[in-house]
Structure 1
Amino acid sequence: MKHIHQPRRKFLRVGVVGFCTAFFAHLPNLSFAKPTSGGDKGIVVREDEGTHILTRRKVPITIKISKAKQGVEGISFCVEDMSPGRKMRVHKHLNNDELIFIHKGEGTLTLDEETIAVKTGDVVFVPKDTWHGLDNTGTENLHMVFQYSPAGFEEYFIENGTPVGMPAKERSDEAYALTEKKYGMVYKDKQ
């Protein structure tokens, strides 16, 4: 039985490396291979580790790799759980590309003027300055993994959100607007 799994592992390894090489070759100045601080060592973030935030919408997000914490400039890595019926407002990032992987669940994605059904295993690339949003139309939590390139936008969640277990931050609309401008976040319903 061992010989049956070896070709599949090799295929997956080669396929993933090939996909990543082709995908990231198209992103300019991507330098996530080496952190800007901490030397040339890689980073391992365990399942329960990361910065756990409740967003302004009270949705749990965990920031696993960030520019501020690990010093990685080229890419950040976050996870989010959206309960059934939750909606991510349609928005765009002026400074960051976003890559979204639907790890579990199903929903409806808005990508510019298109509405697309997404489900477990789907991957979405959202270039900067592209309208996008996501609604959990399923009956279970939608677990998504997402990355920003370059890193830095993840700090938007920290500034606007609340660490899990802490009292919710009270912020004015003006404070939110300043943070949105700082990180290049534009909501469609505000235009």
Structure 2
Amino acid sequence: MQVFSLVFGASAEARLDLATEENGQLRIALSAEQRKIFGMLSAEEARDIDKSRKGVLCYQLPDSGISYWQAEPSAGWVEVKLSPFTQNVHHYALLMQTLFPGHNVREHAHNQLNEFFIITKGIARAALDGVEALCPKGTVIVIGRNVWHWWGNAGKENAQNFAVIDPPGVEGALALTGRLRVHGEAWPDNIVRNPETGRILHERYGFLIRQGSADAPA
């Protein structure tokens, strides 16, 4: 079994300026005021915390989130696992994108967010600022702001990535430019790519699209 664990927000362990060395080991001892600044609770405080102060706790089985068909060349679908329009979360979003064999997401960049990909099914190929690599299942891809990137299915079966969006944005864009998908339905081959896709992605969601490319806004 393999489990992916993602931690959001800076933790006290990252503050090496607060650490002291004891017997060759770094140790961080925080005062009550420092713990309050970091939002840290003692074991007793955590045990007695009111439910209204707890964050979102949820789990989803495969193919159970709201999903949207995507037109060619990125033929496949996107499943939104967690986003501001599905749960009470506001600083990140989770989605899974599935591409059919031979299809890809066109090159673009983001000036408002970061993306973290984990290839969870199939074999993908991806490029960051023009450098390509084959990405088998389990590959982690970190995409910072303004980094040009694309990814595609390099295999003979569906390829899938699990994406963390920080802050949210991509999931809303794909929902807006896609078509609502009913779980279990066959691929509707009459999906036509919205001619306004490039403008929507650029103006509303901060996508960067190269001039002269198919989705470049006029």
Which TM-score applies when normalising by structure 2?
0.65
Larger radius of gyration: 2
User: Is the aligned partner of 1:97 residue 2:114?
Assistant: yes
The structure showing larger relative contact order (alpha-carbon pairs under 8 Å, at least 6 residues apart) is 1
User: Is the aligned partner of 1:119 residue 2:136?
Assistant: yes
User: Is the aligned partner of 1:138 residue 2:138?
Assistant: no
Residue type at the aligned position of 2:206: G
Aligned to 2:80: 63
CA contact (8 A) 2:102 2:152 kept: yes
Structure with the largest fraction of helix: 1
Displacement after TM superposition at 1:24 (Å):
5.3
| Residue ranges of structure 2 left out of the alignment (5+ in a row) | 12-51
> Structure 1: how far apart are the matches of 2:135 and 2:151?
9
CA contact (8 A) 1:59 1:82 kept: yes
Aligned to 1:156: 173
CA contact (8 A) 2:71 2:192 kept: no
Aligned to 1:180: 202
CA contact (8 A) 1:160 1:176 kept: no
| Residue ranges of structure 1 left out of the alignment (5+ in a row) | 1-8, 27-37
Residue type at the aligned position of 1:47: P
Over the matched positions of the two proteins, sequence identity in percent amounts to 22
The 1:169–1:119 alpha-carbon spacing in structure 2 relative to 1, beyond 3 Å, is closer
The 1:152–1:118 alpha-carbon spacing in structure 2 relative to 1, beyond 3 Å, is same
Aligned to 2:38: none
Secondary structure at the counterpart of residue 69 of structure 1: coil
Displacement after TM superposition at 1:169 (Å):
7.5
| Residue deviations 1:41-75 (CA, integer Å, cap 9, x gap) | 41223334211101233421100101112121121
Aligned to 1:73: 90
Secondary structure at the counterpart of residue 95 of structure 1: coil
Aligned to 1:46: 61
Secondary structure at the counterpart of residue 105 of structure 2: strand
Displacement after TM superposition at 1:170 (Å):
6.9
CA contact (8 A) 2:71 2:193 kept: no
User: Is the aligned partner of 1:128 residue 2:145?
Assistant: yes
Aligned to 1:3: none
Pairwise CA RMSD of aligned residues?
A: 3.0
Aligned to 2:15: none
| Residue deviations 1:159-186 (CA, integer Å, cap 9, x gap) | 1111014987877534651343100112
Which TM-score applies when normalising by structure 1?
0.73
CA contact (8 A) 2:177 2:194 kept: no
